């Protein structure tokens, strides 16, 4: 039995993870965590003893001693659990991309000390991991991440001036929590994923490309130096990468539908519109600058998205606020977690201040 600690159990990934665990032999829940939602019923249904709502998730993990931590918390709040798992060499199935973006260097150092597995749950990174696994780094030319383009693909800046929260939450291909859905609409999600890919696969930013692919069937594609390219395809359903990570390396069977090629499949790709959706290029810049710039990017973006969801900021105000915060921070590398928290707080303060000025 593989004992799984599911953090963010009440969310979109959490709920799908429970479906996977319930339908897969050899997996059982040993711990559950949420931010504020009650977990009593879920814990009772699965006979889970270790349960926590909010607070320091590492205490829960210490008590539960899981084999695998599935970190599906949203935002920077997931950082403690990510670092705890990597430091102890406990297999980390990571959906919480924000923690890897904010703490890339600290996370890699912790993983080196701990020696455990870091398995991405993000569909693009799960796909890239599978295309890259077992290949010599020298043979890899570049990695392509695909983006659905979100609900506003093809629109101009003027057409985005008045979009509402409801418009932005209507994602065309994925059903997800509100924060990542807004990130998908602004392309900040792809920006976070670009940095996540750099951290996970050690590829320089020049070798990471993003293309828009509205049907979200190709999740990632790796180009090799001989001119060949390997792509990972599947219907957009997060239960596939969740199941892959939880049962790695066995790739347990699921009941999800196989790709039906004879029914017709159109694969369209195009370049992202970086001028209309500046958060993708801003992420690339933050990633290239390194230090705590990625942490600041994430913190300012979280602050701006929360304000947009609260009706305190316009859709176009989100990239403006992030750009201003990135211009104002010093971005110096964090030597430890305390310094990372300071960088995170500073960027949040700057973003809040940016809102009170406008």
Ligand X SMILES: NC(=O)c1ccc[n+]([C@@H]2O[C@H](COP(=O)([O-])OP(=O)(O)OC[C@H]3O[C@@H](n4cnc5c(N)ncnc54)[C@H](OP(=O)(O)O)[C@@H]3O)[C@@H](O)[C@H]2O)c1
> Does residue 284 interact with ligand X by CB under 6 A?
no
Nearest to 119 by CA among 208, 4, 244, 216: 244
Q: Which stretch binds ligand X (CB under 6 A): 5-13, 209-217, 333-341, 345-353?
A: 5-13
178 close to 113: Cβ distance less than 8 angstroms? no
Segment near ligand X (CB under 6 A); pick from 19-27, 89-97, 206-214, 317-325: 89-97
Cα distance between residue 210 and residue 242, in whole Å: 23
Give the residue, chosen from 4, 5, 6, 11, that forms a contact with ligand X under the rule CB under 6 A. Answer: 11
Work out whether 256 is an interface residue with ligand X (CB under 6 A): no
Token representation of residue 186: 């602004």
Q: State both tokens at 284.
A: 């690339």
Tell whether residue 283 is a contact of ligand X (CB under 6 A). Answer: no
Alpha helix (H) ranges present in 65-177?
79-88, 97-102, 104-114, 123-132, 157-160, 165-169
Collapsing DSSP to helix, strand or coil, 47 comes out as coil
- Position 8 contacts ligand X (CB under 6 A): yes
Query: What is the rounded CA–CA span in Å between residue 195 and residue 100?
Result: 8
Between 171 and 353, name the residue whose CB sits nearer to ligand X.
Answer: 171
- Number of residue whose CB is nearest ligand X: 11
Residue 37 engages ligand X in binding (rule: CB under 6 A): yes
Please, what is the minimum distance in Å from the beta carbon of residue 157 to ligand X? 25
Q: Which of 95, 102, 127, 168 binds ligand X (CB under 6 A)?
A: 95
* Distance from C-alpha of 65 to C-alpha of 48, rounded to nearest angstrom: 13
**Beta carbon nearer to ligand X, 51 or 140:** 51
Contacting positions for ligand X (CB under 6 A): 7-14, 33-37, 54, 57, 72-74, 77, 95-98, 122, 174, 176-180, 238
């Amino acid at each position: 039995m593989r004992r799984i600690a599911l953090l963010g159990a009440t969310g979109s990934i959490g709920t799908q993870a429970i479906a996977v665990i319930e339908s897969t032999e050899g997996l059982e829940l040993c711990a559950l965590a949420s931010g504020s939602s009650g977990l009593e019923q879920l814990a009772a249904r699965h006979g889970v003893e270790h349960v926590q709502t909010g607070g320091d998730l590492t205490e829960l993990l210490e008590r539960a001693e899981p084999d695998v931590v599935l970190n599906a918390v949203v935002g920077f709040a997931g950082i403690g659990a990510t670092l705890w798992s990597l430091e102890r060499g406990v297999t980390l199935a990571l959906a919480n991309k924000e923690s890897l973006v904010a703490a890339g260097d600290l996370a890699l150092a912790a993983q080196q000390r701990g020696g455990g597995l870091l398995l991405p749950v993000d569909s693009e990174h799960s796909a890239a991991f599978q295309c890259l696994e077992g290949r010599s780094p020298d043979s890899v030319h570049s990695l392509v991440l695909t983006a659905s383009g979100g609900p506003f693909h093809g629109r101009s800046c003027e057409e985005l001036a008045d979009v509402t929260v409801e418009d932005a939450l209507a994602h065309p291909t994925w059903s997800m929590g509100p924060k990542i859905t807004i990130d998908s609409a602004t392309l900040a999600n792809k920006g976070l994923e670009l940095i996540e890919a750099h951290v996970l696969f050690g590829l320089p930013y020049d070798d990471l490309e993003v293309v828009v692919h509205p049907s979200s069937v190709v999740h990632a594609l790796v180009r090799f130096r001989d001119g060949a390219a390997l792509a990972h395809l599947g219907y957009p359903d997060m239960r596939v990468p969740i199941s892959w990570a939880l049962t790695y390396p066995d790739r347990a069977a699921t009941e999800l539908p196989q790709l039906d090629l004879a029914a017709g499949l159109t694969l369209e790709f195009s370049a992202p519109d970086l001028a209309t959706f500046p958060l993708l290029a801003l992420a690339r810049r933050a990633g290239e600058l390194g230090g705590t710039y990625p942490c600041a990017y994430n913190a300012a973006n979280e602050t701006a998205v929360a304000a947009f969801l609260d009706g305190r900021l316009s859709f176009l105000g989100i990239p403006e606020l992030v750009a201003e915060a990135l211009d104002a921070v010093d971005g110096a590398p964090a030597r430890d977690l305390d310094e990372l928290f300071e960088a995170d707080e500073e960027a949040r303060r700057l973003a809040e201040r940016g809102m009170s000025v406008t």
